[in-house]
Amino acid sequence: MFDFSVLPQHLQKSLKVFMKKNVQTPIIICSKDQIVTNLSFFLQHLKLKCSDIYFPVKVNHTPAILNFFNDAGTNFEIASVGELSILEKLKIPADRIIFSNPVKIPDHIRCAYKYGVQNFAFDTETELQKIAQYAPQSSVYARISISNAGAQWTLNQKFGVPENNVVGLMKRSIELNLKPVGIAFHVGWNNKNTDTYLEAIRKATDIFHELKQNGISLEFMNIGGGFPAHDGDPYPLLQKIASEINPDLEFLKKQFGIRIIAEPGSFLTADTSVLICSVVDVIKRKNKSWIFLDSGINQGFQWILSGIMYKVIFPYKTSADTTLKKFIITGPTCDSHDVFLKNTALPEQVKTGDKMLVFPAGAYINSAERYNGFEYPDTFFL
């Protein structure tokens, strides 16, 4: 009766079990086996160990998923105290947490330091001063400015030390009684362009050389996240990136005695989850057919407003002669921007009560509610 053959295999298995039950929608189903597959693939191809991975809490903060990564032996990356408190509740020790947001709220630095977090990213002198004040004698790593060519979402406008300022800032960190320990970069979200990864590593290599000439030795290079996920088949894409960057990473490890660490988020979880929702109504207005669902872009899919697309899947078997019709797929809220897809072909028999799937739903969806761990402000009523 069901057909979700377009989804990853392990997720199909989880869905088969789940769809037979009369589930209350909307709900996200996540396949543990799919995470296991993604994590093993990533580690195998990038020649890393679980302890080299710092899972970014911003990507998915479902306790069961964080517990899975904890049990697997990975570490964690946070962007705020909100994310720290999630890890604290799960009893994740401070020595497995790094704070990679390069521009932090001072009180967040203080709280993280109090919890015992020792590693903080920076990309300006003022950030170093904040860290020196609120987390004295901590370890710091520089987020360097790199090209994000090929990324579906760039991060390099907002963050990054220009190449020629890194040595100066590392020296400044020592003056401030901090310990420079690493270089970090991020190629931007969903980046399939191998040259961007290679260019970033080469830039970092030049910086490691320059630092060495200045008597500064570091402990790690953090290659961040941004690995392909979301659309297309991520495995051959990752395999290609890994095979091209591995020789340069090996060189860095040998030449400078450093560890390579990474913060993959979307690659590990994006395709492990799917949203199951229900059709609330099918309505024709002004020659256009609308499908109303019980979940929409305001329930974690607001990235659609910046151009990111999700598949909406009709999960029932259809025959070869099923007639398709163009629909606008919308969510339940009272606004017109709440639209998943504007012109998508689905079987014309779609009706109220049918289930519908939205994919992928494993990265940045459930964590969008308190994004990066930042709460919505309270209202003070005078």
Ligand X SMILES: Cc1ncc(COP(=O)(O)O)c(C=O)c1O
- Contacts with ligand X by CB under 6 A lie at 56, 59, 77, 100, 186, 189, 224-227, 263-267, 363
Rounded to the nearest whole angstrom, what is the least distance from the CB of residue 60 to ligand X in the complex? 9
User: Helix/strand/coil (H, E, C) string of the chain?
Assistant: CECCCCCCHHHHHHHHHHHHCCCCCCEEEECHHHHHHHHHHHHHHHCCCHHHEEEECCCCCCHHHHHHHHHHCCEEEECCHHHHHHHHHCCCCHHHEEECCCCCCHHHHHHHHHHCCCEEEECCHHHHHHHHHHCCCCEEEEEECCCCCCCCECCCCCCCECHHHHHHHHHHHHHCCCEEEEEECCCCECCCCHHHHHHHHHHHHHHHHHHHHCCCCCCEEECCCCCCCCCCCHHHHHHHHHHHHHHHHHHHHHHHCCEEEECCCHHHHHHHEEEEEEEEEEEEECCEEEEEECCCHHHCCHHHHHCCCCEEECCECCCCCCCEEEEEEECCCCCCCCEEEEEEEEECCCCCCCEEEEECCCCCCHHHCCHHHCCCCCCCCC
Rounded to the nearest whole angstrom, what is the least distance from the CB of residue 318 to ligand X in the complex? 34
Q: Which is nearer to ligand X, 8 or 225 (CB)?
A: 225
Q: Which is nearer to ligand X, 180 or 265 (CB)?
A: 265
Backbone Cα Rg of the chain: 23
Q: Which is nearer to ligand X, 315 or 362 (CB)?
A: 362
Rounded to the nearest whole angstrom, what is the least distance from the CB of residue 153 to ligand X in the complex? 8
Q: Which is nearer to ligand X, 46 or 282 (CB)?
A: 46
The neighbouring-strand residues paired with 293 are 279
Rounded to the nearest whole angstrom, what is the least distance from the CB of residue 350 to ligand X in the complex? 32
Rounded to the nearest whole angstrom, what is the least distance from the CB of residue 330 to ligand X in the complex? 27
* Residue number closest to ligand X, CB atom: 225
Q: Which is nearer to ligand X, 361 or 363 (CB)?
A: 363
Rounded to the nearest whole angstrom, what is the least distance from the CB of residue 77 to ligand X in the complex? 5
Q: Which is nearer to ligand X, 23 or 305 (CB)?
A: 305
Q: Which is nearer to ligand X, 264 or 331 (CB)?
A: 264
Rounded to the nearest whole angstrom, what is the least distance from the CB of residue 266 to ligand X in the complex? 4
Rounded to the nearest whole angstrom, what is the least distance from the CB of residue 380 to ligand X in the complex? 31
